[in-house]
Structure 1
């Protein structure tokens, strides 16, 4: 059984989810610009390294606060 976590959901077209599939973490980025992009990680540190390189405060409607909340949610998975 998989556990699905919604990290953020700005609307039906812009969201980030993480599915925990045993030892694998499947991150799905859904955006109105790129559609759905899927990333698979074999460890949480690998996922966090990707997230730190991937996201900037300017990617979020509420800036630094949105970035901080997203990183905290990812760390808690």
Structure 2
């Protein structure tokens, strides 16, 4: 295996491992802070290539929005 391919493979498996071990990532959901829409994602792929964007190009978050208080 070439050095570049080995490095890529090692990083890819690291992203997969992180995604399965972190509770907020393991759920595979992200939320928009502006409109509260949710989207199912592949967390390992998001760690590799970036998180999706929603309203006005803002990055979505792994933190679930808190319910509105009356």
**Scaled by the length of structure 2, what TM-score is found?**
0.29
Higher helix share: 2
**Scaled by the length of structure 1, what TM-score is found?**
0.27
Larger radius of gyration: 2
Q: Which has the higher contact order (CA 8 A, sep 6+)?
A: 2
Higher strand share: 1
